[in-house]
Structure formats: C-alpha cells, structure tokens
A and B are shown apart, each in its own frame.
Chain A
Amino acid sequence: MALTGDGTRAQPASNGVKELHVLWISEGMSCDGDTISITAASQPSIEDVLLGLVPGLPKVHLHNKVLAVETGDDYMVPFWKASRGELETPFVLVIEGSIPNEKIDGDGYWTGLGVEPSTGQPKKLTAWIDELAPKAWGVIAVGTCATYGGIHAMAGNPTGCMGLADYLGWGFRSAGGLPIVNVPGCPVQPDNFMETLLWLLYQAAGQAPTIPLDDALRPTWLFGKTVHEGCDRAGYYEQGDFARDYNSPKCLVRTGCWGPVINCNVTKRGWMNNLGGCPNVGGICIGCTMPGFPDKFMPFMDEPPGAVLSTTVSTSWGSVVRRLRTITNKTVTLEPKWRHNRPELTTGFNPRYMNRGGDQR
C-alpha cells in the first residue's frame, strides 16, 4: 500500500480559490501595532505564508504599507483596481485601526489613504471601506481598534471613531458570504492573527468549513476561554492568596487584573513563542481584547469592582484550603521513612534470600 504523502490532500480543492490578494489598510485610527505584531508571528510566520511554505494554501499577494516594496501611486495600484472591481483574483480586506466619524470632520478629514485624483485631497478611509468591503471575499478587522473601537474610541475622543462592525453593520456579509472576522487584542497577539488568516485561506481554498465565530465575531477557539482559566497564577486565587503590590508572583486581581472575566488566550499562548504575556508574567490584565476596552476597565491599577466580593469569599475559604495544603505540602516534602542507610530493609519487600540463608539454588 502506497503512503499517502503525495500531496493530493494539500492541494486547493478544484472549486477553491488558487490565488488571492490581501489588501491591508492600516489607515484607521491605529498605531500600526497590529501590522508590526504579525511580523513577530512564528506559528506560522508571514514569510511562511507568502513564500508558499504552508501546503494547501492559495498563493497570497500581500499589500501592506509597512512591508511593501512599492511606494506612493505604485503601491496604490491594487487598491484602485479592487475598488473598480478589476482585480483578477478574489481579495481579503484587512482593516487596522478604528473608523472615524467623517460626518463630523468639517471641511477636512480625520484619516485618508492615497490621493483622490479629482480633488487632490486625501481619499478618506471611509470611502475606501465603502468601495472595497462589499467586493471583498472576506473582511478581517485586526486589533481592538478595528474590531470594537479601542483606545481611540475612548470617552471624550474627538473623532467619534468606532469599530468596523459598528461602521458596516453587525449583519454585514462580504462577497464570500462571510461576516466580518474580528481578531481583537491591543495589539493583536501575533499568532492569533496568523492562525485566523490561515483558517480563512484554507477556507478560501475549499479545505476548511466556515470559520467558527462567537457573537462578538471572534474565532471561538481563540477567545472562548478567559485569561484566568489559562493563568498559572489562578491557583493563588483559589487559595485566597493575592498580591498586595507588583512585587509579588501571586494573583494580581487585587492590584487591577481583570483576567477572570476577559476572553483572551494570552496566558495559555504567551506573547511570542510561548514567552511573555500578561498576569502570568506580572502584568495586570486591562481587558484589551474586549469590546468594553478601555473605558470599562479604568483606572487600570485599581481592583475591579466586581472582584471585591469574589476575592473576599476566596480569601476566607481559600486561606483554610491553603493552610490544609501547607500541612499536606509539609508531609509530601518529607521522604518516606524507609529511605535510610541502616543495615536493614524497611521498604516492605520481603527478601527470600535473607530468610532462606542464601540457598535459592
């Protein structure tokens, strides 16, 4: 029987997409931190995808400002082509940064990309989204700014900005029939984005079913658990043992950590290559993946209001548990008593050679 290593299963399905463009616009209200973040990904890396090192994926042409070779008008060519529906292959639109309210920009603009030839003025981000989103096979919002508004949509902000789904409508469907795919995080965890892109590319190639999303349009396997559920400091919580300041390796809930109620996998995945993260390495969780970020978590360094009751309860029964565990820990810290150097065996083994005086044979 032949081995099935002939690559057939790794080819795009015959009706699948064989080649596509990724048009990445970071001209939302952003810091470009999500673009920088994906250059940190290694599971897979961006070059793995672009160089075709992942079997079964369509050929990908990435158009991203930070990584582009071309500049100015040359760089803008695929964007204009896509807006006229002239790209030869399907495209995925990635939006980074929150969407400003250009209805309140006076005679000017909050943010633009490229130049509108008829006026010589910057072409507004919202105009690009209006033209490109309905034509895109899929639309991804990367980072918390694009998904839900994030930092720049904080109370008192001047631009009235919002998340992409707030702008396009939560019921939006792309040309490929997909809702917006949200990958939040401030910035996005590098591998979380690449893994989501990978799923969508497999899906476009006809190799994967529709990406599973929750009500906030997040991939369920990435955002289905809480920070606390994955945190290696959660054991301290269970024992009612809380850090009083940032010198401590214990549970940080009393010093501002929101981990117990935040959907994020950072404590499981770490930040890069399984290193770093947030409460697991001494950084309070400020809820940066959440639609309520940042306002609902400020001031960041105070104990979350909802944590007061639960930590108090945890402290009372947890301290009992901890004391009992301390006792058990002392017990298991002692070696069993049969490990000694006396001229006798006390392990419970009954050596016949001793009883029979060495006449075994």
Chain B
Amino acid sequence: MTTAVREPVKSERRNLVEMHWDPITRIVGNLGIYTKIDFDNREVVECHSTSSMFRGYSVFMKGKDPRDAHFITSRICGICGDNHATCSVYAQNMAYGVKPPPLAEWIINLGEAAEYMFDHTIFQDNLVFVDWCEEMVKATNPSLLAKAEKAEAPHAKIHGFRTIADIMRAFNPFTGSMYLEALQVSRTTREMICLMEGRHVHPSTLYPGGVGTVASPQVFSDYFVRLLRTLDFVKRAVPLNDDLFDFFYQALPGYEKVGLRRTLLGCWGSFQNPAVCDYDYRRMTDWGRAMFVTPGVVVDGKLVTTDLVDINLGIRILLGSSYYDDWEDETMFVRQDPLGNPVDRRHPWNQTTLPHPQKRDFDGNYSWVMSPRWYDSRSDQLLALDTGGGALARLWSTALAGIVDTPFLKATGSSVKMVLPKSAKFPEMELEWKVPKWANTIERDRARIYFIAYAAAMAVYFYEQAMIEVRAGRTKTFSDFDVPENAIGCGFHEAVRGVLSHHVVIRDKKIANYHPYPPTPWNASPRDVHGTPGPYEDAVQGLPIFEENGREGFKGIDIMRTVRSFDPCLPCGVHMYLGDGKTLDVTHSPMLGLGG
C-alpha cells in the first residue's frame, strides 16, 4: 500500500546532500525538516519531518471534570485554540445530551467564521507570503523577479498593483503595504472573535450547552460593521492571489509539481446548522451533512463519503516512527458506537498513549507526532490523508458534495460560488472557487484566500440568522444540563488548518479518556508502521527544485513553500499522552452518551 503519487526514487549512485531546516519558522510550534537533495538532478530525494516538543495533554485531563475539557484543550493551540474549545463543546454536548439554543449556534458560527478570516489572513499574508515576496524571490530566483517586473497583473484594476513584482513588494515583511494591511485586518477580525467568544485565542464565553455572550443587538452590530469593513480587503486579496499564483505556473513551467501529492483530502465539516443538529450520534449522518462546510473524504479527486459516522469509524492512530510505546494490550474503552458499529482498537476512543522520550534516529523513531490514517473500507487501504492546509479540503469536499446552498454561498458540484455584498469601495462581487487540477503547494495556498471569502459570505448569512432570533425575542444562549455518570462523545470540526476531532469517554462523571486529533498530526506525521510517509514527507520527496541557487546559498524555498502550504501548527501535532495510571475495567457495553 502506498499513498505516494510518484514512484519511490532510488537513491543509489546519486550524489546526495543532506540538508535540514530546524526550526521551520513562520509557523506555530516546533518543526524540523530533514532532507537528502540531489543537486545534479535538482530533486529532493528523501524527507523526514520531526517535531521536537512534547507537552502531554490527556494525562492531566484524565480524572478531571469533563466540563473543564474545552477550557483545557483550547490551550493546545495558540492560534486556533477557539477551534479546539468549540470542538470540545460539540463533543461534550453529545456526551451530556444537550442541545444549545439556535442563537448560541449562530454565535459560535459567527465567532468561528471570524477565526477563519483572521487566521487565514495572518498566516497567508504575514507568514506564507514572505516566501513569495520580493525580498525572498530576489534571493532565490532573481531571473523570475526580472520577469515579474515586466508581467502586468491581470486584475490590477481591482487590487491596485500594476505588475506581479509590485504584488511581491507589497508582501515584504514589515514594510510592504499588503503585509501591514493584513496585520490590521487580522486585528479587526480578531475583534469580531472577541465579540462572539470573549477572547482570542482562548475564548471565555463558550460552554457546553451554549454561550455566555450577551446577545443584545449591540454585539451583532459591532460585529457586522467590522465584517463590512473587511470585505474590501477580501475582494482585493482574492484576485491578487490569483494573479501571483497564475504567474508562477506561467513563468516556471512545471511548478505545478512542487508539493504535488495524490489527492487524499479529509474535511470533518464546520458550522453547525441548529435546525438539524441535535448532537445525537445516531443522527450524526444527517446533521453532519447539514453543516455549512460539508464533511468529506476526497480520494483521487472523488468524494468517497460525506458521512461523519463513516469518517469517525475510519480513524486509526498508528505508530511506527514516534516516541511512544504501543497500546495493543491496554484498555478498550468503546467496543461499539451508539449505532452498534464496531470501534477499532486503534481508534482515538480506545487509544492509550505511552510516551517514551528517546534520542532522535531517522532510521528508527524520530518524532513526537504520531501517524493518524483513515481506513478506506472500499479499497481496504489506510490512507495518509492530508488537509490541504484546511481550506483546500473544505472547498473540495463542499464543492463536490453540492449540498450547501445559502443566499450568499452555493456549492455547485464542481465549484463553490460566493457572493460578497456591497462594501465601501466595491459593489457586490461574486467569486468562484473551482476544483483545481492538482493538490499541490500553489492550490493549497490559493484555496486559503478563497476560504476567507467563504467565511465572510457565511458570516453575512449567520448574522442575518442571528438577528432573526434576536428580533423575535429568542435571546436564550444556554441550555442547562447534567453530567452523566458514564458517557461517550465525539466532536467534529474544522480547525483553520484542517480536520479536528475530539473524543471523550466519561466514567463516574470524570474524564476516563480524551483524545483530540487536530490537523497537524495528519499532515506532519512521520512514516507509519507500514512505511507510509506522512503528507509533508510525501509532498517533499521527489520535489523538483526551481530555486536558482546551487548548493551554496541554497534556501530550500520550494521546500519551505511546500511545508508552509499545509499551514503547520505543531502544538496541535503533539499533545497526546495518557499516563499509566488507573486502568479502567470496562465490562459493560459502552454508554451511548445520550441524555443524563
């Protein structure tokens, strides 16, 4: 079984140079990339991805009150902590059998939409684009910069930059105009998060059962005026990104192969629809499909499922190159899901994590990240899914599913159409993201900017829905609940950079097992026990080098662009640990987690 899109490269009789980048900067968390490069043939032959930090979340969650889970797990991530808090609240809602009032769901959707807008903006424009800016291109591809100086930008009338080089200059760090504007936009959008969720990055007003946000008209007007102010930026940013990326395809033939891997994308869905969602596992297929970002798994360009139950049962956590001992003989917490389906021993509900710090050995164990895979029952394969940096998988899954249909956003089966209303400088504008030919570095980056438009269009819709509730006097934001003696729960959400799941097992009203699986373990995973490399490794191995520098002065820019296109967030990657404390003897059938 292989998930690589290219044939494995034979490394004998090649002149290989070992090069590493550790730490990778302009990401969140600790990541190192170790490669072997064939400069004669301008190709990366081998890649290992490693993380050098371990914190150990699940151990200190074990035995704690399950209502503390979202406060604690928010602290897993410093840029998308609110995604974790939200996902944990979803899992708790299932475990407690509580359905929040509709207004609470609209408030969370508004907060999360703002999070996508903030996070994608700051990551794209202030972190990723430093790799595409004039200063960098001058250092890595001077002849390309010369071409860019002469290349007219097709959408100059909209974004105001005459040439592609002008666009590149606009992203020079701390001096470029788009760089500085994006920092400001990332603040306005974070203010929007603070209005709905209290704080960024660890929210204060989210609870199982709803939110504490004061749902007066004021909080929504404060949000909406900021959203409108941001629309001008979004309307410029999308065509500007198109111009820059299309230029790369055009000016560097073959650049589509940079970061290319087989299309293996996972999306766990985002934005609950309160008209359908009741958090009952037995109806999860239906309410999952009602989400305003459709969950799905895309294999070789085809949507193989949109069913959250399928998605849930297919998750497998493998070892192979990670600093942990195996848990084959440990407690099975959940043998069947509430629908009676068998649950695998390698599923997060049944994971026991046994850390074993050791020296780094690239022929053995070399990372604190584990290797999550998704079992595709149709092909009997364990797929190393990636998230495409989040946006690519969300757009791809939603587009193919063709389910989402709102006044501002429609999935067509092959594209997503978004309508952004009139704003100060631009009239109403329709943008369309079309399923691309490749899952590669450029398309991951391009999708990110389109998803900002997606989130903005949905935010307009969520605002209108929230105001319908407020104007009708339905301002309750919280439903009370009791913590059951025993229960299980799972939450599915999209962290900004991709799939996010939280699995909880409650025994005696305490957490017996809790395993969050954020996007980065999927993307940054090392080789698994079957030898399948993780997505970063897979995308970098065989990567053609376009950088003009030879071995001396080599920056590895094409590698850096590729790794960053996945939006690495390593605190999300490494947090799992369940100590070898009390073993829970489970002889009864698993609780369904439905009601008290």
Contact = CB atoms under 8 A, between A and B. Distances in A.
Contacts of A50: 174
Nearest to A123: B52
Where chain B touches its partner, the secondary structure class is loop
A187 B126 contact: no
A273 B222 CA distance: 13
B444 interface: no
Interface residues of A, number: 79
Contacts of B79: 32-33, 36
Interface in A44-89: 45, 47, 50-51, 65-73, 75-76
B454 interface: no
A105 interface: yes
B81 A282 contact: no
Nearest to A281: B198
A69 to B, nearest CB: 6
Which of A158, A161, A301 has the most C-beta atoms of chain B within 10 angstroms of its own C-beta?
Answer: A158
Contacts of B210: 246-247
Given A30-B571, A36-B79, A72-B20, A272 B67 contact: no
Interface in B184-204: 186-187, 190-191, 193-195, 198-204
B56 A247 contact: no
Contact of B212 (A106, A107, A115, A283): A283
A230 interface: no
Contact of B53 (A35, A111, A301): A111
Interface string B57-92: 001101111011001100111110100000000000
A264 B194 CA distance: 17
B211 A246 contact: yes
B205 interface: yes
B438 interface: no
B55 interface: yes
B191 A252 contact: no
A33 B202 contact: yes
B81 A108 contact: no
Given A36-B78, A187-B201, A282-B198, A122 B183 contact: no
B129 to A, nearest CB: 11
B480 interface: yes
Given A66-B26, A281-B213, A152 B55 contact: yes
Given A65-B25, A276-B191, A45 B183 contact: yes
A109 B214 CA distance: 45
B565 to A, nearest CB: 15
B296 to A, nearest CB: 29
Contact of B25 (A39, A68, A154, A282): A68
B29 interface: yes
A156 B477 CA distance: 34
Contact of A278 (B60, B187, B204, B360): B204
B436 interface: no
A31 B75 contact: yes
Given A156-B60, A158-B579, A282-B213, A36 B28 contact: yes
B204 A277 contact: yes
Contacts of B198: 271, 276-278, 281-283
Which of A51, A106, A272, A302 has the most C-beta atoms of chain B within 10 angstroms of its own C-beta?
Answer: A272
B78 A252 contact: no
Contact of B78 (A31, A45, A159): A31
B62 A75 contact: no
A7 B114 CA distance: 41
Contacts of B577: 158
A259 B167 CA distance: 48
B21 interface: yes
Nearest to A252: B212
Contact of B81 (A31, A47, A252): A31
14 contacts: A34-B78, A65-B23, A66-B25, A68-B25, A71-B21, A71-B26, A106-B356, A108-B356, A154-B60, A159-B55, A245-B478, A276-B194, A281-B214, A300-B71
